[in-house]
A and B are shown apart, each in its own frame.
Chain A
């Protein structure tokens, strides 16, 4: 029996790697595809922040010893400029332009998938452990019940059309995603330096991941996702109530249980994390300062990058909803609405953090989804990230409602939006409202996704509690 199972396991592993390799080949084929794919100029793929063309322009300006931020072309980080910039000008004879950059993005995607997989394995281990602790033997031992969520999530990330398009379409979002996933991975493994590094870089590159600090702290303090702490306490109560109180051996068992439930907030890794965060941020700031010293210093840098993000200066159409709104709004209300829109993200943070504090990874997913919905220049790369992370919770979200509807909606919107854009821009028979309608539909879909996934997660927790309460009721 055992060798058979082993071979099956091996087969499954092989299957996973086959698909990974196939995805790489698929990307390479698309990179070598003739230019009429034209993905790099699609508004869905390249926003003012993530477009590689703008980065190349910034690098060119810098080579001419001008400020890379001159002319409102480039708005990214100077570190990215010095990393990717040299690759944009290097051409290999007979190969497509930007081949090296594309390869970098492909590698970033692969690393992302691997990190997601590792995170998923970590999460899954924790999941089975906590199920055992809660004595859900039925749930944990049923064959095939627990799906290898890490593998699934990695494959979902790799084969998601959004990821592929973002990777092939020369946008820097794979690298931004890499930073975010790195920080999550580090926090899951409780490696404070890595987590701090990922968080600092992610915040530096795209600012919005700054809100991930709450899940980071929770992850480092409590450990990865588990059912709510109350359940463990309840479980213990049941066991304690089961036996006569003066039984010694049972007391010992209780002690064992207590040590198994690591639900005490441990401050040490958090403090480590903060130390490392300050260290890394000082490091990054110094590097940035050096590279923009001649061009107005750090203040200019902040104004041109974070200021650009927060004040929504570029109103060219994208898949978000802010461009249309700020194109319409009166100038004297502009600041007010900027505050409202960005405050929206912040308002949602605290309630979610309180409700989902036992599942920090899921909390991170929800934060990423919300920020990708409300951020000023969203692209499909952001959706790729949260859809990939969604795969991590396959076991918990198995009973999610509307999944088919959401799937159809995503397919429909992602097909409809380029068509509407074409009608508006190239054919002249449509107008901006056509395109904005798809953006609204997309935002609604994201809202439904977030709401449904959160409610499915809470339902799952409730379901875990049910047998326990029954046990208790039976005794009472």
Chain B
């Protein structure tokens, strides 16, 4: 682009071309301004956050009076009591409690089925992201000894057609039912019992009692997978062959009075509109009963904002609960953030005094809180690991959140406990009733947003500005470098006569526009290396009996070996020790290509997972812009240059450790088998970029020697 624009200035080019030339000629200034503006906008985001509103009119939250009464509370108490008494018995194994819950459910007239699943270690699928979740799922080697058992109860809606459902999930550890888990089961049970009686229900209700012995996420995920991918008889027979048929079902049936209602098969209830994961923790809060909302699913996907809105609305305005979302605690006490908040506050005051219509100032305290929430929102989205079992639903396009209700004091007091159960039950009833009104899927409100508080959000249109400003400097700088490379050309033509420039001569023979091909080749090689390095863990995973540390060492060794091999295969485009003059033009081209590659990568990432792209951009953009060959800098001994070298080295170091840290963390988590496959793919892309630029800087370091 630059090239053509630089060539036709004589003929009085069009304004847009002139603008382009202007930008390119002042690329340095432009990039500095853009970067600062990008960072400033990012810091301003808590101020720019809007209040949430319920966008879908059909929802009508809180329009009906809650029907949840003390009768349901006593039902809940009954279940909690029998669960705790069961737990105190020494014999009570997991099956006992499952049986108990099933019995209670069937007393209500619900359809019950058990879902047996085998936990499996999460494997890293290199191309998992582009395929449907778990498309090739049947060929895992499952360990037959350990299996979990989910209990599923379904109420058929009197007014529904069985095509839609709302899911309640209560994860609990069947071996040891804690008091909080018992309470969450109690709340879910009481709501469930209420819903068997109501007439307004238009969607079926599924209550999934997830066996969290092997992790909450695994249980829910296994159930969802079986729900969406029907296993046909042939396959189930195959499964039975693999694992000796355990007689869980028979066992359960023998003991059960309610034999007639328990189904062997897998029960389904249509597409799921929403899923609510209910958890209870107690005694941790100081002020009042509160509700924590967790929404981040894998890859930084969020449920529709309307779901969070209705939960927030009902909890605050109907039940008087304090709603919280995750915050970064360390940021709240941060000095500079406080100062910034105060500056913004005073700025807001000034603006207000100038024109009362301008209302962008927010109190400093709010700003700090908002920034802390925003930071944690960014962090969890960037990490790409779901923050709870709700993450499994998002992979199937189901909006889900985890509601963690926590009480002020330990729930020993009976009246207190009843009150707590009543409020929790009413809240969930209200949410279900609201979602029940929904005519279509959630689609009206945002999917791409960041939360700054439970009732404030930053939409995609706003936060993209920050990112765009940050990244905008990259293409401009790339274009200006590209134009530079072509301007430097003639001077080399003059040098040609000198004997030492024979290498340049050879290069200049290649046609003018294709000179970048060489640079592109180098960049491609580095990226390929990054990709290889990031795929290596997949193969290392296959090595049996490996501790995390050894596999990590193997990984480091392999990845450092793979670079020379690759460069050998691809015609050794790397020429480290070549004593020829550092060619400035070559270098500018290389930098230009690298920057454009980084730009493409960042834009791509911003579409997939904004938070990762934002954090990546914060690291990469300065790194890309400041990178200089060390050799040139060191030769000209000036203070400014030395400063630049120091900056480069520091940035390069900064750019690397996060990647190293992420990878280390990922490696340990992954080998432990906790994280999702997608997490790896994120890791991979972060890693491949970072390694690319790191290596790129490393390359210049080597040219020095």
Binding site for B on A (CB under 8 A): 34-38, 142, 144-145, 398-405, 407-408, 411-412, 415-416, 418-420, 422-423, 426-429, 434
Contact = CB atoms under 8 A, between A and B. Distances in A.
A401 B131 CA distance: 38
A235 to B, nearest CB: 25
Interface of B: 1, 3-4, 125-133, 135-136, 301, 397, 441, 447-448, 482, 509, 511-514, 516, 520, 592-593, 596, 600, 603-604, 607-608
B397 A415 contact: no
Contact of B604 (A142, A402, A416, A429): A416
Contacts of B511: 398-399
A291 to B, nearest CB: 36
B607 A416 contact: yes
Contacts of B482: 404
A434 B125 CA distance: 26
Nearest to A416: B604
Contact of B136 (A35, A401, A412, A434): A35
A411 B513 contact: no
Nearest to B129: A422
A428 B441 CA distance: 11
A36 B135 contact: yes
Summarize B's interface: helix, strand, loop or mixed. helix
Contact of A403 (B132, B447, B513): B513
Contacts of B448: 429
B446 to A, nearest CB: 9
Contacts of B512: 398-399
Contacts of A38: 127, 130-131, 135
A432 to B, nearest CB: 13
A415 B608 CA distance: 11
B514 A403 contact: yes
A420 B606 CA distance: 11
B337 to A, nearest CB: 30
Contact of A36 (B3, B131, B301): B131
A419 B301 contact: no
A418 B603 contact: no
Nearest to A426: B132
A378 B366 CA distance: 53
Given A416-B604, A419-B607, 20 more contacts: A35-B135, A36-B126, A38-B135, A144-B509, A398-B512, A399-B512, A400-B513, A401-B4, A404-B513, A404-B516, A407-B516, A408-B596, A408-B600, A412-B603, A419-B604, A422-B130, A423-B607, A427-B397, A428-B447, A434-B607
Contact of A415 (B127, B129, B593, B600): B600
A412 B600 contact: yes
Contact of B603 (A37, A416, A426): A416
A18 to B, nearest CB: 10
A427 B604 contact: no
Given A37-B127, A418-B130, A407 B520 contact: yes
B607 A36 contact: no
Q: Which of A35, A405, A422 has the most CB of B within 10 A?
A: A405
A428 B440 CA distance: 14
A398 B132 contact: no
A145 B508 CA distance: 11
A400 B517 CA distance: 13
Contacts of A408: 596, 600
A380 to B, nearest CB: 15
Which 3 A-B pairs have CB atoms at the shortest separation, nearest pair first? A398-B511, A429-B447, A428-B397
Nearest to B128: A36
Contacts of A429: 301, 447-448
B274 to A, nearest CB: 14
A427 B516 CA distance: 37
Contact of A145 (B132, B509, B520, B593): B509
7 contacts: A399-B511, A399-B512, A400-B513, A403-B513, A403-B514, A407-B520, A418-B130
B205 to A, nearest CB: 23
Contacts of A422: 129-130
A402 B132 CA distance: 37
Contacts of A427: 301, 397
Nearest to B605: A419
Nearest to A38: B131
Given A398-B514, A427-B397, A428-B397, A36 B125 contact: yes
